[in-house]
Amino acid sequence: MATKLRIVHCFRSPVGGIFRHVRDLADAQLAAGHAVGIVCDSTTGGEFEEQLFNDMGGKLALGIHRTPMQRHVGLGDIASAWRTYKIIKELQPDVLHGHGAKGGAYVRLFGSLLRVSRSRVARLYSPHGGSLHYDERTATGKTFFAIERLMGRFTDHLLFVSNYERRAYRKKVGEPRGLNGLVYNGLRASEFEPVLANPDAADLLYIGMMRDLKGPDIFIDAIARAEKKLGRELRAVMVGAGDGLPNYREQVKRLGLGDRIQFLDPMPARKAFALGHLVVVPSRAEAMPYIVLETLAAGKAMIATAVGGIPEIFGPDSPALVEPDPVELGKKMVVALADLAVYHRSMPAGADLKARFGADVMAGDIEKAYFAALAR
């Protein structure tokens, strides 16, 4: 078996945590001498993501290939799937690693087709939450989980990013049929350096996609409630892009917060950290969000909802955890902002975080999974 691999990462949307995960993996795999390529959607992402692609482009031996991919299943999937298959076939991968529901479906389908044509390729899938966020009692959930059960037959290795995600898979899909493992997301050593707030930093900071799943509406409502409790105005910065942005701007205006909440385009997380004193992650659902790891590694105080794998980072009894509810979040904002220095001392220790969530640990464990899948 070759020790240097041809690795292709396939995913739909080049934004948020999945894109961050793939970039970190690609960097580590390049350093290990592997040839790496990326196949993803061409219709999502903005200037920030374009710059990230430009920074990566010259380093990837197998290149960056972008083609339209629909978010939801539809007739357009047929043409999209055919284009993606042709790209992947030309790259002649040893390892196909799919991220998210769409990437996972494509990798297992196309990897199986390549095997029919006598190509030996390992098919790995990292859900990153994805379709596992659906309720298994709904028609949509039942459909997705039936597809997942079918796809399990064509999966050489499942890689979960949190114990929560693994439990959700077992509950909603069933026991994994083949190899599976838990590999936490990891950060580079440079990300464990502290980031100080600017002199004019806002009280609160939100960084993430502007969609309801991530809870921007909860964040805004909680600010209005916290102001009443504290008896003073608060300033906040919201960094991100997404389809829900017009709705959140309107919500801010309706609540009379328009002059105190600033919306900014996506930017590197460590640049954004200087814009606020207290970072808030108000998500309704998550798997293992990078933004929580990045915030804590940068030495910032934060509040996060107790969803998905987030309690695995903090510990289940951490005072930083709250339910994804504006009333509860507003109360937690009041407590934290009343004495931020005291609140900050309740954050997890940096040394412990580095030992559990280092990029070198993540990349090493995933490489072992690749070779295990190829050896089957």
Question: Digits of tens for pLDDT over the chain (376 positions)?
Answer: 568 999 999 999 998 889 999 999 999 999 999 999 999 999 988 898 999 999 887 899 999 999 998 776 665 678 888 999 999 999 999 999 999 989 999 999 999 999 887 778 999 999 987 788 888 999 989 988 998 999 999 999 999 999 999 999 999 999 998 899 999 999 999 999 999 999 999 999 999 999 999 999 999 999 999 999 999 999 999 999 999 999 999 999 999 999 999 999 999 999 999 999 999 999 999 989 999 999 999 999 999 999 999 999 998 899 999 999 999 999 999 999 999 999 999 999 888 898 899 999 999 999 999 999 999 8
Closest CA to 363 of 122, 36, 96, 29: 29
Q: Is the sign of the CA dihedral 67, 266, 24, 161 positive or negative?
A: negative
Residues 97/8, Cβ–Cβ less than 8 Å: yes
Residue 65 tokens read as 């290939």
pLDDT for 133 equals 82
- Phi and psi at 303, nearest 5°, equal -120, 140
Residue 229 tokens read as 């409790």
Q: Is the sign of the CA dihedral 217, 218, 221, 223 positive or negative?
A: negative
Residues 50/19, Cβ–Cβ less than 8 Å: no
Residues 61/35, Cβ–Cβ less than 8 Å: yes
Tell me whether residue 31 is exposed, middle or buried, using C-beta atoms within 10 angstroms of its C-beta: 0 to 12, 13 to 18, 19 or more.
Answer: exposed
Q: Which residues pair with 187 in a beta bridge?
A: 358
d(CA 214, CA 193): 26
Residues 288/185, Cβ–Cβ less than 8 Å: yes
Which amino acid is residue 120, in one-letter code?
R
d(CA 161, CA 310): 11
- Phi and psi at 139, nearest 5°, equal -65, -40
d(CA 130, CA 286): 9
d(CA 300, CA 55): 27
Residue 95 tokens read as 């390892």
Residue 170 tokens read as 């077992």
Q: Which H or E run includes 162?
A: none
What DSSP state is assigned to residue 299? Answer: T
pLDDT for 130 equals 76
Query: Which pTM was predicted?
Result: 0.85
Closest CA to 5 of 83, 97, 81, 110: 97
pLDDT for 210 equals 97
d(CA 209, CA 48): 13
